[in-house]
Amino acid sequence: MSDKKIGKSISLVALLIFSTLTTMLVIPSSSAAGINQTTSGTLNGQETWSGTHTLTDNVTIAAGATLVVSAGATINIPFGKYIDVQGAICVASKTCGGSTDGSSSSMTTFSWDLPTDYTVRGHCVISIDAACGSGMVIRNTIDESKTGLNFVEFENAFGFEIGVNTINGLDAKYGALVFDGPDTFANGLKFTNINSSNIILVDLANPTITSSEFTLGVDAYSIGKRAAISAYGAGSGITDPFTVSSSTFTGDAEGSCGNNGNGISMIYVENSYASLDNIDISDNGYGTFFIQSSGALTSSNINVNCAAVDTKGLKQTGDIRHTFEINNNTIVTASRAGITAYDGAKISASDNTISGVEDSSGVAIRSSTATLNNNIIGPIGGYNGIWIYGSSEVVAIGNTIQDTAREPVVHGEYHYRDQGWPSVQPTKSRLYMEGNIISNNSGTCNSQSMYGGDFQCPAIHIFRTSATLYNNTITNSVGDALRIKGGIVNVQGNTMETESFGVNISHHDDNYGNKYGSIGYFSENTFTNATQVYNITESRV
């Protein structure tokens, strides 16, 4: 990109921020009180919208003002127009001041017109779509005691345009409902035919969102498909995250994987504190992506084509590196990993069930810290149950790893010189395994550079790393129970059934004049059916 283009891009985004902050200042003001009076401009008093109410332009609810929208009301809005809430808005909820509560059979609807020609440029700074700008934004200046949404449908909104500080710099984002910093509640939301994200959360916003239905943004003209929920700098702390619970997410069943695929994440969380509980994600390319974020994903079902739970980096407060909790979820993927922890992530995953994964591993860990407790991993149709590489710190206790196409556990990337594999050089990394059950290991592995081609997959493969293995059980392994190459291991109290070597321990010759012998301590282990218990090459046992 040329310097001129870069400068132009920065100028456009800066203009977006300026316009976002100043649009409210140029809207004509009207002090209204009563029923269905304000159709445009600034609402400064108290007003109720009920029945069918039609707006003609943008409406700003000023700080100190209150708008109550009755259950079952329909608010019609021109395309490209928005409602900016700086005071209070209470929709169909007695909790915040409404006369009655809404219900699934009495939804309040905010419905935007559709333009006849999307190619006529609209009011947004970045997006060129004619309908761009349509949506609702709730600011951090609201009266939280008088604000809430209950059984509300957003229909045909393109998305409100807002400038956001992302990890890649200032950018324009779009959402039908934007939470710009507030702490409020939203229950029973539904989104229909939304171009952009259903919800955007920014600036420490930490609303509580419950019992809602979400879909992908479906734009095919100016911005492309978008995650149903996108968060940037949301949540005000590890104990005060934004929360989404008891909600369903339905996406693009044809979403595909990889760099050339068209799949996107259903939930995208960046530099935020998040708590997702009892959610259901289905029919989509990817599930969730948490980058430089922490919080929890619990008691949920995720069934997608590609990766289900991606984490990268972590959220840090001072010297505290927060852990992302992934607990009690059922995860099924057609192709990619069930859980990933990449590039400085810190996760704790417990009581999850992971299966499918025809082209990857159940849990993939790269240069991260992970604690894995009591998970059921498998069947895995692609590669490993647990794949660890880079400089990682992993504790695995009480897991069941079964029916994997390749090694149930790999620690260290021995393919680093094979084409098509990550070229991650051997580096220090530690694994602690205790009380795990590994069964039905019968796959054929391959490494041309390390082993000259095919070999029977071992149950646990340690390459140029260290591992402590206590009281684990390996049954029905066709390949070696343990294969250690250039590693350091402490192996005690394990029970291992194998048709090959119990322990195949050897050195690694990098073919550049360097040899790395293995060191192993073995005590009180039980081996059955092994053709030979110890096969030792240029190593110390």
User: DSSP assignment of 444-477, as one string?
Assistant: EEEEHHHHSEEEEPPSEEEESSEEEEES-EEEEE
Percent of the chain with pLDDT over 90: 87
Residue with tokens 């997410």: 249
Per-residue confidence (pLDDT) for residue 3, from 0 to 100: 44
**Mean local confidence (pLDDT), 475-500:** 98
* pLDDT for residue 339 is more than 50: yes
Strand partners, 332: 303, 355
Which pLDDT belongs to residue 4?
39
pTM of the entire predicted model: 0.92
Q: Are 149 and 186 in contact (CB under 8 A)?
A: yes
Q: Residue 117 is encoded by which pair of tokens?
A: 């020609």
pLDDT attached to residue 534: 97
Per-residue pLDDT averaged across 69-87, rounded? Answer: 98
Split at pLDDT 50, 70, 90, the class of 11 is very low
Has residue 276 got a pLDDT over 70?
Answer: yes
pLDDT in tens, 230-241: 999 999 999 999
What confidence category does residue 33 fall into, taking pLDDT thresholds of 50, 70 and 90?
low
Distance CA 320, CA 340 (A): 22
What is the longest distance spanned by two Cα atoms in the chain? Answer: 89
So what's the pLDDT on residue 23? 42
pLDDT of residue 21: 40
Tell me what pLDDT residue 144 has. 97
Task: Write the CB contacts of 529 (distance below 8 Å, at least 6 apart in sequence).
Answer: 497, 498, 499
Residue 479 has what pLDDT?
A: 98
**Average pLDDT across the chain, whole number:** 93
**pLDDT above 80: residue 477:** yes
Per the rule left: phi > 0, alpha: psi between -120 and 50, beta: everything else, 221 is alpha
- DSSP 3-state of 192: strand
Number of H helices, E strands in the chain: 2, 59
Residue that wins the pLDDT comparison between 47 and 15: 47
Range from 7-21, 49-63, 376-390, 518-532 carrying the lowest mean pLDDT: 7-21
Peptide bond connecting 379 to the previous residue in cis, omega within 30 degrees of 0: yes
Across 254-281, average pLDDT: 95
DSSP string, 494-513: -EEEESSEEEEEE-EE-SSS
Model confidence at 327, in pLDDT bands (50, 70, 90)? very high
What is residue 9's predicted lDDT score, i.e. its pLDDT?
Answer: 41
pLDDT-derived band at 117, boundaries 50, 70, 90:
confident
CA dihedral 287, 292, 293, 298 (to 10 degrees): 40
Which pLDDT value is given to residue 16?
47
In 23-161, where does DSSP find H-type helix?
none
Query: Which of 114-123, 168-177, 196-205 shows the lowest per-residue confidence on average (mean pLDDT)?
Result: 114-123
pLDDT at 266 over 80: yes
Give residues with Cβ within 8 angstroms of 105, minimum separation 6: none
| Residue whose C-alpha is closest to residue 508's, from 487, 479, 481 | 487
Burial 256-269 (b: 16+ CB within 10 A, else e): ebeeeeebbbbbbb
Q: What percent of the chain has pLDDT over 70?
A: 94
pLDDT tens profile 386-426:
999 999 999 999 999 999 999 999 999 999 999 988 878 89
Report the amino acid identity of residue 261: G
Radius of gyration of the chain (CA): 27
Q: In the predicted model, is pLDDT for residue 82 greater than 50? A: yes
Lowest mean pLDDT among 188-192, 217-221, 293-297, 310-314: 217-221
Cβ-in-10-Å burial (0-12, 13-18, 19+) of 393 comes to middle
- Return all residues near 97 (Cβ < 8 A) that are at least 6 apart: 66, 68, 88, 90, 146
Predicted confidence (pLDDT) per residue in 467-476, tens digit: 999 999 999 9
